[in-house]
Amino acid sequence: MELICILFLLINGMSLAVTQFNGYNCDPAVHSRFPGDRDISVYCGVQTITLKINFCPVLYSGYADSDLALNGRHADVHCRGFINNSTFPTLLLFSVSLSTLEACGNTLVVSAIQGNNAYGNVSLVQIGSISGYIDTPDPPTIISYLPGLLYKFSCSYPLEYLVNNSQLASSSVAISVKDNNGTFVSTLSLILYNDSSFNQQLSVPMAGLPLKTRVFAAVRATNLDRRWNVLMDYCYSTPSGNPNDATRYDLFFRCQKDPQTTVFENGKSQLGRFAFEVFRFVKHKNQKMSTVFLHCVTKLCREDDCVMLMPICGKRRKREESVSPGPSPGDAVITAGPIITRGALAGGSSFQLDTVGSALVSGLVLLGFISLGFFLLSVRLLRRASPATLTATCNPSFK
């Protein structure tokens, strides 16, 4: 009799579970349980944070999809999730837009932690952390036999990136860092222009750009919430596409700036602009063309934070700030082909003397001075000669 009762209860429980999961892709043998930590997945993206909740344990706990909402905003339909029944198991999806994340009570906190910055140096690094939770409403009664469900989530976004545009011949190069859970995915571009109005994108001739050609560059943030501004912290060039190349020339770093470089806008919007004059690397002296690769370390900061991050120039700086840093090997970098400039051998009228040619020219100049000395000495000796020793014959035709 006891065995019959146990079998009856098991069959009744299984039929109840099947009834609960009816219409949804759930397995009663697997999902007849209360929710756990593994039932939520968080995907931190550029524009949105996507939350995926295993809906089957929610059903088993006695709730419907409309019972779950972001940060207790159960009355707001925009803060609820939606069912995706095309997967196994069935998922309840929430999408948090970074541009309106406060609308459903999510919070953004920017803090500084000790870590490696984009230069590879240990210092304070700014992190943007977005957090929130998904829960079920409290019942209006004193007690409840249903468990309260609570899912917490957070995404941390580092706010410093290394941006590259290593080809002046191309109009732009977009940088997109791979989407990883818990990291900030940015889309930044470094675009080059011919003119100060930043309208005509740069075009490089086959022979390369003449030296001292003025090039205008813009670092632009796209597909990001407008709360973030672009702060160019350090821009430099290398003769190769490797941003860690030991040979590099700094265009500007905080308060230090190359005399031929002008910064027009920085930290005030989602656009940073500067200009520099094209040069060649001396190591390319035996080449007709010189290649220049451009790199910028860029921070994303809120308007108030950008003001505090901007260096105070004109005052005494710390010694370590006077040394230009190098980028960290761990930075995500996309590199395009080279900026082509005309080297010392470019052009029909240009020439370069090697060591032998320089020695020949020096010898000819020295021989000329010696010949001139002998000539002047001969003239002086002739002037000192006696008139009796000089004879002259008249030309008969002059009579």
Element (H, E) at 7: helix 2-20
Domain membership flag for residue 393: no
Based on the fold, state whether residues 191 and 247 are members of the same structural domain: yes
Same domain membership, residue 103 and residue 188:
no
Q: 377 in a domain, yes or no?
A: no
Nearest to 301 by CA among 310, 313, 314: 310
User: N- to C-terminal Cα distance for the chain?
Assistant: 168
One-letter-per-residue 3-state SS of 72-86: CCCCCHHHECEEECC
Return phi, psi of residue 382, to 5°.
-65, -35
Which tokens go with 221? 């943030």
Q: Are residues 189 and 336 in the same domain?
A: yes
189 and 86 in a common domain: no
Closest CA to 281 of 323, 238, 235: 238
DSSP strands (E only) in the chain: 40-44, 48-54, 69-70, 82-84, 91-97, 107-116, 122-135, 150-158, 160-165, 172-176, 187-193, 214-221, 228-238, 249-253, 256-257, 262-265, 271-277, 289-302, 339-342
Asked whether residue 91 falls in the same domain as residue 193, the answer is no
Provide the pairing of β-strand 228-238 with 289-302: antiparallel
Identify the CATH number of the domain in which residue 264 sits: 2.60.40.4100
Q: Is 296 found in the same domain as 202?
A: yes
User: Do 87 and 33 have their domain in common?
Assistant: yes
Instruction: Indicate if 218 and 85 belong to the same structural domain.
Output: no
pTM, full prediction: 0.63
**Residue 284, domain member (yes or no):** yes
**Which tokens sit at 163?**
């941006």
Q: What is the mean pLDDT of residues 22-34?
A: 91
Residue 21 lies in a domain: yes
Whichever domain contains 56, its CATH number is 2.60.40
Give 277's strand partners.
Answer: 214
pLDDT at 119 over 80: no
| pLDDT of res. 117 | 59
Q: What is the pLDDT of residues 249-295, one digit of tens each?
A: 999 988 889 999 999 999 999 999 999 998 888 888 777 788 888 88
Domain count, the chain: 2
- Using DSSP, state whether 17 is helix, strand or coil: helix
Supply the range of the domain harboring residue 305.
Answer: 184-311+328-342
Whether 370 is covered by a domain: the verdict is no
Assess whether pLDDT exceeds 60 at residue 323: no
Whether residue 318 is contained in a domain is answered as no
| Mean of pLDDT over the chain | 75
In this structure, the answer to whether residues 103 and 250 fall within a common structural domain is: no
Asked if the model's pLDDT at residue 138 lies above 70, the reply is: yes
